[in-house]
Structure 1
Amino acid sequence: MKNDPRILLYSHDTFGLGHLRRSLAIAAQIAQDIPGASQLLLTGSMVAGAFDLPPGLDMVKLPALTKRSDGRYTARVLPLTLKQTLNWREQMILQAAINFEPDLLLVDKAAAGVQGELLPTLRYLKAWSPQTRLVLGMRDIEDAPAATIREWRANGVPALLEDVYDQILYYGQRSVFDAVAQYGMSDVAAGKLVECGYLRRAQHTRLPADVRQELGIGEQPLVVVTVGGGGDGHELINGYLQMLSQSRCLPFHSLLVTGPLMTDERRDLLEQMADRPDVTFMKFTPDLVSYMRAADLVISMAGYNTTCEILSLQKRAILVPRVKVRQEQKLRASHLADLGLTRQLLPHQLQPSRLLAEIERSLALPEPIVNLNLDGLNTITKTIQSALPAPAPKASPVVSWPALKPVPVYA
């Protein structure tokens, strides 16, 4: 048995940055709490190299997939069919598991992988490495209950939860959204579920005063607008720019973070639309938390990671959820608004006058007091640590034993 634990992380990353950012946050906490752990992250993200890696973590870049507006997958860059790309990814994942010999596999969200690409690896580990713990990480909300149940049944997820995975880490709080009840999880699956809480995401590298000095805004209120990876969120950016175009002088500075996945052509067009001194554009920063910490108000979509950052920083926020393909963000924004922790505008409500009124109203509110469980990262690493095999005892030093003489037998 290996002395230092080996942890394999799978993050399919077909759209946006959410899965990658969550996996890196967990990997960083593992590196801190489980010294000596070796980690290998499998990811399809095109921007994985833009993030600093915690010590002990390496990455395998899978051929990139993307999800179209109709929810179907396709190769993102390479001139390959979906089947060819999935076959390639499937083999890379399996070979990584065979050669890395993990003590634990942590899968983010997709229990079977993209269109079942993880199944050969799960079969291999179950048959040939039964000591490897198989763990599924599950965000607070997957999709609307009926849609999730339908998708899980189509992909064989209930059987995987009951018969294959050893544990399910739930990155949420059941008093806010009860995934067990809403998604009809069996008693067997529910018995494996560990309610971790939300992931506290408040690590920053710079003080608010330094950020404000960089932006040249002094004590002026700062509104940070972010759309995650930038693959979507066009309604939010367009609505915000329309508001700016109808308001010559606003009592706050706007920082728009468009995301690394937005095309250069679209970003250039947006910057031309808002070429004014009270607006700053930024393509991407791995240190978004520092800017959010300096903000008086955050306007964003309702993705899991950004929402966790807002809650961790206890910031005033307006969430504009994605409402197409999946209802995950809409449900999350609605539940948090009901708790009084954030405000919500749907994409069709982004008329300039309404958006400006909502911003002014939000800036006048006190910062929220968040009483949710945000200790998810610590709970995750404690659970992983308890699931790992005990370190193998160190080998005894070689001792030169004298030759044994036969013992005489007396009649």
Structure 2
Amino acid sequence: MTLDALYRDLHEHPELSFEEVRTAAIAAAELRAAGFDVIEAIGRTGVVGVLRNGDGPTVLLRADMDALPVEEDTGLEYASSASGVMHACGHDVHVACLIGAAQQLAATRTDWHGTVVAVFQPAEEVGGGAQAMLDDGLYEKVPVPVVVLGQHVGPAPAGLLGAHPGAAFASADSIDIIVRGRGGHGSRPETTIDPVVIAAAIVGRLQTIVSREIAPQDTAVVTVGRLRAGTKNNIIPERAELGLTVRAYSEEVRLGMLAAIERIARAECVASGAPEPIIEFAESFPVTVNEHVATERTMAAFRAAFGEASVVDPGPVSGSEDVGLLATAAGVPLVYWILGGAHPESYLAAASAGTLDRDVPSNHSPHFAPEIQPTLDRGVDALVTAAREWLGS
């Protein structure tokens, strides 16, 4: 099967977080065929391949495997066959590229020495996959690397590569707040404690965190993405539920925002005579930090291989990732870059017209459909180039 055909197959058969059984089996089979020693079921559905090729450094290459609960609307002939599930974030690209890179590195063993560790990670979308693999003893089962390398496809022109040194991807925290009141008839509000009014006050007050508590030179986002309360117009409910996402580029700002959210939620409940709110922290992604020296070394290798015009600094990305945990746990540098996946001519036309947001679907969109080529070839070559830069020659 060609790499293009493998990608189409992966795209057509997406699997949700910690359910990547079919994808994991494909990765394991392809690694074995290339000569890797394979370990399966690390962190539930994770797969790791190890290729030892004499003395030398160990390099870890990582791809995530999970899809999203999104109904695909691309119209592709190889569109998702799973109702309500889609590779809307491009992890199928990541898997295909890492398989291709593993095959290429295995086929060129006379040109390098050291050890390649290929990690196919589950459940990035829920922020638990990397930690699950670590908790399952990843670095007790495979050699500890000198660097962690990886890439994420995005709506930039296909063939473009970009990495930002320092804080490259934002932290992300999901927070659920349950406001408890006292329900009753809508005609007798004086007998109730209205959680809808309290929730509305919390939503309004939360907007002051970024505007009044975060320094102008810092970047932060607080979004209330979910607000649910009540069953009927004339009933004041017993409770209201809020769902938040919080993003930042430094741990100091992140912790400050989390503390402010708790303070505001509790204070609004106290002000209304309501019980303490229930505040629960769900998914959490740390800030993804690219080590400066390692990033420049890897980008220099890209510039030499693909030309100056093919390598950019995209600046900090507001999306989030858990790949950094693999580097932090090993105490080694991370280099994580963006891989362009949009049709180059269409991208340039939309950029000229000022319609990028409308005409070039981004990750998590039901219309997200990376160009198969040259995206896959560049993604494979980028992983191989980066690995060879850190392996012995």
What's the TM-score once normalised by structure 1's chain length? 0.23
In the superposition, the TM-score normalised over structure 2's length comes to: 0.24
Q: Which structure has the bigger radius of gyration?
A: 1
Higher RCO (Cα < 8 Å, 6 or more apart): 2
